[in-house]
Amino acid sequence: MTETISSYIRADEKLLWRGKPQQGLRLGGQDLFMVPVSLLWGGGVLMFLVSGGLSAAGGFPFVLFPLIFGVAAIYVTVGRLIHDAWIRSRIEYALTDRRIIVFQRGFGGDVTTVDIGKMDQVRFKPRGERGDILFGRDPGLQSFFGGQSFRSSFALWVPSLSETPQFLGVENARRVYDQIEGLRTAS
């Protein structure tokens, strides 16, 4: 039996909206910094490998370091975008009259709920007809330099890993944000 977000909506709640994050590869504002850095890193590793760095490395243990950096370069250049898209393909969102629900299916999946009456901050980042809604503080670069956990340290590279509950790339985001703000005001 496949679990869905519907199983987390309580009987005394009214479902107001249900959605999914934007699917496929998705670039964000942080990529103005990340893309050049990842291309420089990848280019440096590629130059090392092409210039004969592996043969001059001096044996088996020393060959591993350039290969590890090569794998990391591939991940930060394109792998992180694919990883983020894969995570978002398994996420569902719901807004009820009382809570925000973020449900991630599968391995490592979890459910995050936020009581609308207890939200400290809601941030809205419009992106055309779509947008991001963050329920709490946007960790930004701070997550990369000493975030809450190992997972949140990757949130700068893979936004769907952020520990801050969020709706990423939802359709009609302004309408959803206005609904949330209306509920916050009423509570």
174-186 pLDDT per residue, tens: 999 999 999 999 8
What is the biggest distance separating any 2 CA atoms in the chain, rounded to whole angstroms?
Answer: 68
pLDDT bracket for residue 4 (50, 70, 90)? confident
pLDDT bracket for residue 96 (50, 70, 90)? very high
* Percentage of the residues of the chain whose pLDDT score is greater than 70: 83
Residue 25 pLDDT > 60: yes
Query: Would you state the pLDDT for residue 1?
Result: 42
DSSP string, 97-124: SSEEEEEE-STT--EEEEEGGG-S-EEE
Q: Which of 121, 119, 115 is nearest to 97 (CA)?
A: 115
Provide the residue ranges of all domains of the chain, joining segments of one domain with +.
16-23+91-186, 31-86
Query: Would you state the pLDDT for residue 140?
Result: 57
Query: Would you state the pLDDT for residue 93?
Result: 97
Tell me the CATH architecture of domain 16-23+91-186.
Roll (2.30)
What pairing do the DSSP bridges indicate for beta strands 122-127 and 111-115? unpaired
**What is the rounded CA–CA span in Å between residue 23 and residue 5?**
18
pTM of the full structure: 0.81
pLDDT bracket for residue 64 (50, 70, 90)? confident
- Residues 160, 108 contacting (CB under 8 angstroms): no
- Within 8 A by CB and 6+ apart from 32, the residues are none
Average pLDDT over residues 64-91: 88
Residue 120 pLDDT > 60: yes
